[in-house]
Each structure stands twice: as structure tokens, then as C-alpha cells.
Amino acid sequence: MKFISHEDNVGNEHVLKGIKSLHGKIFQTDISDLSKIMNDKKRLFVCAATDNEKVSGYKVGYERKEKQYYSWIGGIHHDYRRKGIGSHLMRIQHEWCQCHGYETIQTNVLNKIRYRGII
């Protein structure tokens, strides 16, 4: 398992494609315009877990306002769940936030996917 991260843009089209595909599988939604949405976010931070170049998990967030970070989207492929990958991605994100002076991190979980938000 390899963990990668990028600031302010995804930086790797292969990873972005993998995030789009995985997000669609997990949440049954189309986010084909994810690149455009990401480009509009301030202080975007993307971290992903890959296994043999395949994205197995991801966490994406951005600055909502000064000193407040929003942990926006994330997910883990069902074959990789319960292995600590989500927790590790969250630690990477939280360490990045701490190094960049954020005081709070906000996360929202929709009720229809609540079981996926348990950490």
C-alpha cells in the first residue's frame, strides 16, 4: 500500500481518474466534473491510498474559511475496508492541517450513508 498526497491540485491524472471511479462505485454518483470542482477550492489537499497503481481509498478537503478546514469527500474500496486505510488517510489529512495552522476540521456525513462515516 502506497500513500500519496498533493496540495492545491490533484497533480496526477491517474489518481484523479481512480478517485472518480471509486467515488462512483461507493456512492453511486457521477462526479465527472470533479477536476473543475477541485480547481475551484481554496487550499485543496488530496490524499490517496494505492495498491499496485489502483486507488483503494482517498480523502479530499479544502479550506472553508481562515483557520477552518473542511474534510469534504472520501471513501475506501470495499475490498480494503477494515484495514486501517481510512484512519491512516485521516491522520495524513489532520497532520497536514496542523502543519498549515488550521484550528478546526469540519466533516459532515449524510444520514443515508451514515454507516460509512463511522470512524
Residue 40 pLDDT: 84
The yes-or-no verdict on residue 114 having pLDDT over 50 is no
List the chain domain ranges.
2-117
Instruction: Record the cell numbers describing residue 81, joined without a space.
Output: 475496508
The yes-or-no verdict on residue 80 having pLDDT over 70 is yes
Backbone angles phi, psi at 55, to 5 degrees: -70, 120
Instruction: Record the cell numbers describing residue 43, joined without a space.
Output: 487550499
Rounded Cα distance, 26 and 110, in Å: 14
Rounded Cα distance, 52 and 54, in Å: 6
Residue 12 pLDDT: 74
**Its pTM surpasses 0.75:** yes
CATH topology of domain 2-117: Aminopeptidase (3.40.630)
